[in-house]
A and B are shown apart, each in its own frame.
Chain A
């Protein structure tokens, strides 16, 4: 039973990793830019819920739409400032530009909040099964994640703008030729990716304590998930996130927590080398970007 409980909790937390990775994989798939501010935008979501719920008194889960909109606007602004000129150039340039924006944000964050530990208290009844109680926040986070992922899937496959995003991701020049305003679509995709990062940060903040520097582990987890799930594939990201959560849940009872990152990163590098197109891509789950 202990291992089952640990696995189930792994699935719940893993779904949120999947949500975080959707943000990075969307931007990567559409414009071939790796957003290195991703981890910091996750932290921005954490501090947004901390401030909105703590200081402004908004109910914790009611902050979600506000954070979604705020993250979107921040993402669009970041696109025009730091990314737009570099789309289509060698990846070095956009890696460096998003990296430098990240330095600025981290610098400002540490000036304002230092490196203290913060948390967002949420009173949500847990679910008891036998001797084990699953925290209500974990269940709520996983449920909201699935809802957001479904909404994103419908948006990309049914909505007109969503189809435009997939068209630009497939072939930007062809999309431009059939009259899609690709620059605006790129800005929208970047905004969407950042919004997803912020929302996942908000959900993580309800589960775990955080600091200004908490972004790095989640950024790296997002990379692992993206590589496992295939580039530009939101469904793959969710599945791979859950797989990563399961792996962590499986490892927890058997080895000290400090060994988990060793396994994760070895897995990451090994998968990257063995399947550059993503493991799930090999299994036939294709992303928005053909490879």
Chain B
């Protein structure tokens, strides 16, 4: 088991264990909801990081995967009676396949043009879904409470969803790590540094870019399925909320784009900061202002994010936290 000899795999394991054990101790529901959001943010940011941090392509519309996954899962469950597990998996696979198709088209664009196209894709899909009657149009889909019965009633189902979300988070961290260590990840980082040079060295750039775009769609789509099953209802503005995509970018930058641990730490910090800002009476209205100022400061003065700063301070850390 060579995989177990790498310290970072143990770090992921320890984080997962903490996520599983801490809220279960004393049946702490409030903490569980808090950590569920953290797990969701980590999944979104880690997946985004594969294309943003490794390949250097800004995806402003990564939330389209989350929303489509949510819609597919909710629709399969409510209209066709599929079980949660099958429906989320089917949603993940379908959205990944769609992303591959989209990716082959829009990844011919570079830099800023690609970034704009991703906004266009998200808005086009949202506008389409808002008019698509089988998915309830602009009023969305409501799930009947009976769908919670196979999971042992609402109270048990919420715990099951939480554990599944933590599992998805663990997968996203491991995937992000495995991609970074692989030849595939090396090719992606070569594209991120200089795409023409990478192509000249024999990296088939369109294929690699489409592959990572598709891969970065899978886990957000699964997470979307879980999240909207939990809410028991889905509407276009919630599913395709550009603000959540941009929060994912802030998170990846805050922690350090291109590192595996960065987006996870960034997500955790951002979640805590957001929770604190929302409850603090003086700052609750200034949440966006503070997030914006923070991001501007990072972009202007510390483009490496938190991990960049830590690596400079303790170079040995690179071996443990990738």
**Residues of A near any B CB (own CB < 8 A):** 28, 32, 34, 82, 85-86, 90-93, 95-97, 99-108, 110-111, 216, 220, 223, 227, 256, 258-259, 261-262, 265-266, 268-269, 272-273, 276
Contact = CB atoms under 8 A, between A and B. Distances in A.
A256 B132 CA distance: 13
A96 B249 contact: yes
A79 B292 CA distance: 16
Contacts of A227: 116
Nearest to A84: B300
A95 B285 contact: no
Contacts, number: 124
28 contacts: A32-B112, A82-B300, A85-B300, A91-B58, A92-B52, A92-B58, A93-B299, A97-B296, A97-B299, A97-B300, A99-B246, A100-B291, A101-B296, A103-B292, A103-B295, A104-B288, A104-B293, A106-B288, A107-B291, A107-B292, A220-B123, A223-B116, A259-B131, A261-B123, A262-B128, A268-B124, A269-B121, A272-B109
Contact of A258 (B111, B131, B288): B131
Contact of A262 (B117, B131, B289): B131
B156 interface: no
What 4 A-B pairs have minimum CB-CB distances, sorted nearest first? A107-B288, A103-B292, A265-B124, A107-B289
Contacts of B306: none
Interface residues of B, number: 43
B69 to A, nearest CB: 20
B292 A266 contact: no
A102 B117 contact: no
Q: Is the interface of A mostly helix, strand, loop or mixed?
A: helix
Given A90-B111, A273-B117, A258 B295 contact: no
Interface in B31-90: 52, 56, 58
B288 A110 contact: yes
Contacts of B127: 258-259, 261-262, 265
B130 to A, nearest CB: 6
Given A100-B293, A100-B295, A103-B295, A268 B120 contact: yes
Interface string B266-303: 00000000000000000001111111111110011001
Contact of B295 (A91, A96, A105, A110): A96
Interface string B102-140: 000110110111011101110110011011000000100
Nearest to B111: A91
